[in-house]
Amino acid sequence: MAVELLTLDEISKLPRGVNGGYVIRYLPKGHPQRRYASAAWQFEHRLVAEAILGRPLRKGEDVHHRNGRLNNAPFNLKVMKNVPHQRLHNPLLGEFRLCLNCGKPFYRPLNRIKKGGCVVSGEGHSS
């Protein structure tokens, strides 16, 4: 059974609030887009993304704001898988690579611009 999604116009008419820097909208009891029975307030960016996609967000999908949490215009939102979205916002989440000099693994933060020494061997590398 398909969930009937709200249109952008319907979303804009719902009671509005702000929580944690995000716009939230009130969904009445029994509305199919309420994530949980007790969760009346939903993040507007998720409702907008679902309206644009024409389907509910899937497990493991996040909605990224391109320039600011309060701007929920469709052009400012991008649906992404959870892990790439986390990596985009958290530079400490990186990846393991193998040193080209010693062959040992090392951790490279995603925001690292300069090439440096291998954290295992201390030698330079060009990974």
pLDDT tens string 79-127: 998 777 776 766 555 565 666 777 666 556 554 444 555 555 554 444 4
CA-to-CA separations, 111 to 8, 68, 71, 95, 126, in angstroms, rounded = 35, 20, 25, 11, 16
Average pLDDT score over the chain: 78
Contacts of 122 (CB under 8 A, 6+ apart): none
Model-level pTM?
0.67
Contact by Cβ (8 Å): 84, 70: no
6 token code pair: 């709200």
Residues 43, 44, 49, 51, CA torsion sign: positive
